[in-house]
Amino acid sequence: MLKKQFIIGNYTSKKPHPEDRFKVAPHHRERMIVLMQELHRLKKYRIETIHFATGIADSYLALLKAKDAPAPHLVHLAAVSILLAAKLNQPLSPSFKQMILLLNDEQRNDPNIKTKLIDLEFVVV
């Protein structure tokens, strides 16, 4: 049984140190969350799904910050977090293909986007 719970804390920084490899400013996180909310709205997922997705993304970013590892592309993390949360909370399994179609043209037209999302999902889990 879990004896202690840890708060994620603030992993963003307005002015990251130049030597830091992890660089996520508050406005970057905000844009990631807005994208996740938009994907959630378009897919008409349950309200709990967006909360799960936010927790997944924040937990992963906090872990990377603690390791001083570089952050992933936040658009990719937003999509993967929604997909993972949907797998946990939705009655039907989500589709990478359908999620990719909801991304912007630049991301959608990347020939390797599905592979990138699957690879990131494997790392996040």
The confidence score (pLDDT) of residue 1 equals 42
- Of the chain, the end-to-end C-alpha distance in Å amounts to 21
Overall pTM surpassing 0.85 (yes/no): no
* Angle, in degrees to the nearest 10, between helices 47-67 and 26-43: 150
CA dist., res. 11 & res. 44, Å (int):
29
Averages of pLDDT over each 10 residues, the chain, 125 residues: 49 60 79 95 95 94 86 93 94 90 86 93 93
Asked if residues 39 and 76 have their Cβ atoms less than 8 Å apart, the reply is no
Over the Cα atoms of the chain, what is R_g? Answer: 15
Give the H/E segment covering residue 23. none
The confidence score (pLDDT) of residue 2 equals 45
The confidence score (pLDDT) of residue 17 equals 57
The confidence score (pLDDT) of residue 13 equals 61
- Sketch out the chain's domains with CATH numbers: 26-124 (1.10.472)
